[in-house]
């Protein structure tokens, strides 16, 4: 019996060593040191307003001062459809038109689940609807958004939902593969632009979303927080972790983006009232540069910084432009 256990242990160790070597070889095989990622930002007018900013001024500063030309924009359900029979596209219209004036490229997000807490930004009139009826309403609104903006030159990509299967995060109903597939099919029936689907980089295998999409977007967070262990740094994850995972799923690097690249502090409480000393523990100019360089080594095609609103808040509300200026070099 002891000999058998020893044999099994040797086999397990051998398999682990072989797998480790194979992954190491793949990490070298898939890496191109001369390849440079293209950087953009995600922008949330809602979040900018929450932290006390003039969101239009913030958006304009990102475009005109930092010269950002790749931007990911949500279309929050409670913003565009505040009452059941009333649409309001004023805010999205303004952002899309301002971006178009500067020849910027937009990833426009459609669907119920979108970036920024609580993920699902449901209008009040949705309360009480059963899941099937609510999904029908989402489909109707996706159609309305795509039809409204599909002729605008600034729209480069449609993103359908945001991390739709990360159901343990946010205040959202669980989504099925069938529902996501129906939304993707709807957008494809309305326009020929490519579709981006996103998932957690650290907490997901990426399946099946990476197989359902034209483009795939991963999150990339280096430091997070949860109730059980507090702050957690992914010190053991390297850029090759993301690169090899995409390779194993058969997705070309040109079709993989970093949809959310951590570039703001992970705040447990309200950002505005959190001391800067606490904020700078998880994000500052130096960490932003480290995260940007880390993302570049994934060899993916594009990376969207997460936290541009915070950069501007720090610059205007706290008279600290260190992060704003650190970010500038990535948009030349």
Token code pair at residue 98: 């301002």
20 and 66 share a domain? no
In this prediction, the residues of the chain whose per-residue pLDDT falls under 70 are 1-2, 5-10, 12-24, 28-29
pLDDT digits (tens, 9 = 90+) for 37-68: 999 999 999 999 999 999 999 999 999 999 99
pLDDT of residue 30: 86
21 and 140 share a domain? no
85 and 6 share a domain? no
181 and 309 share a domain? yes
71 and 9 share a domain? no
φ, ψ of residue 223 to 5 degrees: the values are -135, 130
255 and 183 share a domain? yes
Buried b (16+ CB within 10 A) or exposed e, 110-147: bbbbbbbeebbbbbeebeeeeeeebbebbbebbbbbbe
10 and 44 share a domain? no
14 and 146 share a domain? no
244 and 151 share a domain? yes
pLDDT of residue 230: 87
With beta carbons less than 8 A apart as the criterion, state whether 61 and 312 touch. Answer: yes
**Can you give the residue range of the structural domain that contains 24?**
1-30
Pairing assessment for the beta strands 230-233 and 223-226 based on DSSP bridges: antiparallel
Write down how long the chain is.
Answer: 332
pLDDT of residue 18: 65
233 and 259 share a domain? yes
Contacts of 296 (CB under 8 A, 6+ apart): 36, 37, 303
Q: How many domains does the chain have?
A: 2
pLDDT of residue 21: 59
Distance CA 86, CA 137 (A): 13
83 and 10 share a domain? no
Query: If we measure between CA atoms, which residue out of 103, 114, 104, 106 comes closest to residue 76?
Result: 114
CATH number at residue 192: 3.20.20.80
pLDDT of residue 226: 83
pLDDT digits (tens, 9 = 90+) for 209-222: 999 999 999 999 99
Contacts of 244 (CB under 8 A, 6+ apart): 23, 26, 27, 30
pLDDT of residue 168: 87
Distance CA 80, CA 91 (A): 8
pLDDT of residue 4: 72
Which residues are paired to 219 by β-bridges?
260
105 and 5 share a domain? no
């Amino acid at each position: 019996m002891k000999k058998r256990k020893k044999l099994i242990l040797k086999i397990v160790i051998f398999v682990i060593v072989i797998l480790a070597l194979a992954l190491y070889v793949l990490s070298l095989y898939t890496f191109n040191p001369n390849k440079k990622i293209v950087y953009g930002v995600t922008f949330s007018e809602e979040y900018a307003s929450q932290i006390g900013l003039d969101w239009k001024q913030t958006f304009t500063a990102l475009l005109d001062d930092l010269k950002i030309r790749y931007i990911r924009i949500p279309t929050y359900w409670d913003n565009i459809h505040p009452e059941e029979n009333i649409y309001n596209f004023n805010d999205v219209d303004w952002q899309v038109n301002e971006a178009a004036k500067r020849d910027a490229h937009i990833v426009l997000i459609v669907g119920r689940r979108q970036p920024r807490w609580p993920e699902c930004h449901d209008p009040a009139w949705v309360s009480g609807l059963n899941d099937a009826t609510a999904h029908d309403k989402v489909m109707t609104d996706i159609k309305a958004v795509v039809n409204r903006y599909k002729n605008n030159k600034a729209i480069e990509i449609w993103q359908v939902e945001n991390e739709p299967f990360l159901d343990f995060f946010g205040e959202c109903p669980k989504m099925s593969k069938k529902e996501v597939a129906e939304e993707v099919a709807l957008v494809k029936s309305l326009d020929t632009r490519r579709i981006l689907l996103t998932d957690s980089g650290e907490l997901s295998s990426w399946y099946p979303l990476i197989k359902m999409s034209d483009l795939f977007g991963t999150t990339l967070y280096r430091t997070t927080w949860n109730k059980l262990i507090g702050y957690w740094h992914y010190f053991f994850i390297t850029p090759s972790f993301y690169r090899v995972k995409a390779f194993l799923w058969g997705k070309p690097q040109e079709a993989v983006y970093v949809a959310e690249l951590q570039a703001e502090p992970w705040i447990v409480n309200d950002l505005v009232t959190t001391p800067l000393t606490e904020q700078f523990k998880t994000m500052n100019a130096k960490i932003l540069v480290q995260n940007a360089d880390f993302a570049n080594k994934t060899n993916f095609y594009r990376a969207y910084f997460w936290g541009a609103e915070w950069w501007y808040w720090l610059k205007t509300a706290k008279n600290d432009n260190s992060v704003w200026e650190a970010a500038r070099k990535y948009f030349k």
